[in-house]
A and B are shown apart, each in its own frame.
Chain A
């Protein structure tokens, strides 16, 4: 067994209305920032997996992401290995 750490980045799918992203964009004027657009607000989930090897660990994360962390109707996800401990 070995320990693996991952992050799952969940974002609204293209075309899905993201009112949070719009709210962020709406605040940019107040900061005096221009030239920023297409803000999309998502969620990042970091987790540690105990598994036989990295491949097995990734398969667990893949299942978790598809079934729980993201709703495939409205959200996309990307899995990335990260270092360190929680």
Chain B
């Protein structure tokens, strides 16, 4: 039986269907979770998709943070449940304090919709273990507030404890800290994705679901989706999530 994975639908989510499709391709049974419902319907993992939840009013992700479904997602994450936030989902998780840091306006103030390259820092996490290696992955970004920020203490702690999940890299795979093209939003230390301290909540700004089948021009994101699906399946059979704990 395919593993059931929830995709939260907020008013203003616009990547929920793409995410459902990518999860289906990876062999999961996607379950849409409406933002006003408290129940997570017994799913084995939750994805917060991209979009503009609640219009991104006030700050991206903050209104969504207080929605009924997010209380359940926070409790699920607190029990070790697997949660992946993509783009706006990353912003929601950051506002909810479920992953460290914040997403600021892009350095050049513009909304950016184009391909970037990211590289996983670790292959022993529920979100990266099915990737073939640490080679750059090409997939699109589509955001106005994607400049990753955390204070130096938090950044240092992330680095030493394995909390950096993905970094923006150039075509050769080199870290893109000061490369304005390869790190287009100005993220500190070129961080494109992070992991919470227990390793069961991951988030990234680029869109793996938009790079998950050949017709989309890149299949580089499929490994991330597949990692989640396989981890969720294992979590179900072992009644305990596979978590690549940090540290």
* A binding-site residues for B, Cβ under 8 Å: 16-17, 19-20, 23, 68-69, 71, 73-74
Contact = CB atoms under 8 A, between A and B. Distances in A.
Chain B interface, >50% SS class: loop
A19 B102 contact: no
B106 A73 contact: no
B58 A17 contact: no
Interface string B136-158: 00000000000101110000000
B149 A16 contact: yes
Chain B contact patch, size range? 10 to 19
B101 interface: yes
Contacts of A19: 105-109
21 contacts: A16-B104, A17-B104, A17-B107, A17-B147, A19-B106, A19-B107, A19-B108, A20-B105, A23-B109, A68-B62, A69-B58, A71-B62, A71-B95, A71-B102, A73-B102, A73-B149, A73-B150, A73-B151, A74-B102, A74-B104, A74-B149
B244 interface: no
Given A17-B186, A68-B58, A68-B62, A73 B105 contact: no
Interface in B29-43: none
Contacts of A74: 102, 104, 149
Contacts of B106: 19
Contacts of A73: 101-102, 149-151
Interface in B83-104: 95, 101-102, 104
Contacts of B104: 16-17, 74
